[in-house]
């Protein structure tokens, strides 16, 4: 304990400003969820759809609340985890497979994986 205390590694006490920022973030997230779910429910009722996780995902994409680049990065990272080492290929081969599957350049795949890890 003395070693930690001497190096000044005790956690900083929470300030009122810090607590207020956390409260504001929580409030913002709560409002975002409320608005999205309300809009999604209205959308489903207007179009006679049964609310579902797949429908919500489609709704978020259609409303441009999830950017194309985020979708691409997420899909490439998940696919890489399935292809390599799952299909007994080298990393370079896995990059080529993913590049072909998503119709993007190998360089783009490499860059996504570098940024994600």
Residue showing tokens 């999604």: 40
43 neighbors 49 (Cβ within 8 angstroms): yes
Same domain for 52 and 96, yes or no, is no
At 40-53, the pLDDT tens digits run: 999 999 999 999 99
Q: Which residues of 43-73 are buried (b: 16+ CB within 10 A; e: fewer)?
A: bbeeeeeeeeeeeeeebeeeeeeeeeeeeeb
3-state DSSP assignment of residue 14: coil
Q: What is the pLDDT of residue 95?
A: 94
Same domain, 54 and 91: no
Residues 53 and 1 in one domain: yes
Looking at the fold, whether 71 and 55 belong to one and the same domain comes out as no
What is the total residue count of the chain? 117
Q: Are 20 and 74 within one domain?
A: no
Same domain, 27 and 49: yes
pTM of this structure: 0.69
Domain span holding position 60: 1-66
Residue of higher predicted confidence among 21 and 26: 26
Residues 51, 29 share a domain: yes
Please state the domain count of the chain: 2
Do 62 and 79 lie in a common domain? no
Regarding whether 27 and 4 lie in a shared domain, the answer is yes
């Amino acid at each position: 304990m003395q070693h930690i205390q001497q190096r000044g590694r005790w956690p900083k006490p929470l300030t009122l400003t810090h607590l207020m920022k956390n409260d504001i973030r929580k409030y913002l997230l709560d409002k975002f969820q409320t608005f999205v779910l309300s809009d999604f429910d209205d959308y489903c009722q207007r179009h006679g759809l049964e609310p579902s996780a797949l429908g919500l995902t489609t709704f978020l994409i259609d409303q441009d609340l999830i950017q194309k680049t985020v979708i691409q990065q997420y899909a490439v990272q998940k696919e890489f985890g399935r292809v390599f080492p799952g299909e007994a290929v080298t990393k370079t081969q896995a990059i080529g497979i993913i590049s072909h599957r998503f119709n993007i350049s190998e360089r783009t795949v490499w860059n996504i994986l570098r940024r994600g890890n």
